[in-house]
Amino acid sequence: MLSFDNLSKSYADGTHALSAITTKVAPGEILALVGGSGCGKTTLLRLVAGLDHPSAGSIVLNGETIIEPRADVGVIFQEPRLFPWLSVADNVAFGLSHLSAFEREGLTANALVRVGLGGYEKRWPRELSGGQQQRVAIARALITRPKLLLMDEPFSALDATTRASLHGHLLSLWEESRPTVVMVTHDVEEAVSLADRIIVMQPRPGRIFDELDNPLARPRDRLSPSFEAAKREVLRSLDRSLSDGEPQQHKAAETAGMWW
């Protein structure tokens, strides 16, 4: 279980990036964060990764407060961030130094096959396309079987066809060990395609505006009426988050009070 308890972040220059973030992410759940620019999505991901520290509140993973980077938390960045001096195989196996060479080789070969890059072990990152490099990054992040996987718009620079293909590869790998996933995206279709739940964030300061469950069964048909309806629901919430100053959960609490 990943939980956020009254999480806030302010910077020395006075920027109030996040305010009172409180929510929980169930084991194996894929959670998508969407929202306008400046709503603190990437800041939140950095805090979960242990790359920065909150000004108030806490982040707890399986009973332990996150205060620094952890081996059981994987990260896929917007850029592949491969080591150019390492082969594809060595990039994928970077986090497996505790295993024997035989074990590393077997796991790496299998991971590359799963992302459609079987036989690419000896190639260099510069010899790969952008989509292939991101496949290597996905394989590297998941080969260690992290309990929590963080994704910061890893598909945003790719064309629609490559992006859809990588979604399929990601879900296939996720099915093996079901890590908890928190992803940041500006693409509503991507959020509906991948996530079990979508949090709409509101800027200045970044805070939760709305939380939307995604009941669509996998695999999801992007051309189905139900998929389009789910997209419209997210888009409506996004529109309200940019024009309405009051988060939805606050309104729900007030409405409950009126009925009481």
Mean pLDDT by 10 residues, the chain (260 residues): 93 89 94 89 92 93 91 87 94 88 89 88 93 89 90 84 83 87 93 95 91 92 94 94 64 33
Q: Does residue 51 contact residue 32 with C-beta atoms inside 8 Å?
A: no
Domain boundaries, the chain: 2-72+180-259
CA distance 194 to 209: 20
Angle at 114 between CA 108 and CA 119, to 5 degrees: 60
Task: Give the up-direction half-sphere exposure of residue 205: CA atoms within 13 A in the CB hemisphere.
Answer: 15
CA distance 14 to 34: 24
Confidence at residue 246, expressed as pLDDT on a 0 to 100 scale: 59
- Non-local (6+) Cβ contacts of 155 within 8 A are 134, 162, 163, 166, 167, 185, 187, 190
CATH class of 2-72+180-259: alpha beta
CA distance 16 to 149: 26
The Cβ of residue 89 has, within 10 Å, a number of other Cβ atoms equal to 21
Confidence at residue 254, expressed as pLDDT on a 0 to 100 scale: 37
- Residue 206 is given by DSSP the state B
Q: How far is CA 42 from CA 101, 151, 227, 245, in A?
A: 36, 10, 26, 21
Task: Give the up-direction half-sphere exposure of residue 66: CA atoms within 13 A in the CB hemisphere.
Answer: 28
Confidence at residue 256, expressed as pLDDT on a 0 to 100 scale: 33
Confidence at residue 177, expressed as pLDDT on a 0 to 100 scale: 84
Confidence at residue 245, expressed as pLDDT on a 0 to 100 scale: 56
Confidence at residue 174, expressed as pLDDT on a 0 to 100 scale: 87
Q: Does residue 148 contact residue 178 with C-beta atoms inside 8 Å?
A: no
Q: Does residue 35 contact residue 239 with C-beta atoms inside 8 Å?
A: no
CA distance 138 to 115: 8
Helix extents (H) in 100-177: 101-114, 130-142, 160-177
Q: Does residue 111 contact residue 142 with C-beta atoms inside 8 Å?
A: yes
Confidence at residue 56, expressed as pLDDT on a 0 to 100 scale: 94
Backbone phi, psi, residue 148, to 5°: -135, 130
Confidence at residue 15, expressed as pLDDT on a 0 to 100 scale: 87
CA distance 10 to 198: 24
DSSP letters, 80-112, are ----TTS-HHHHHGGG-TTS-HHHHHHHHHHHH
Q: Does residue 47 contact residue 57 with C-beta atoms inside 8 Å?
A: no
- What's the gap between Cα 229 and its chain centre? 23
Confidence at residue 259, expressed as pLDDT on a 0 to 100 scale: 24
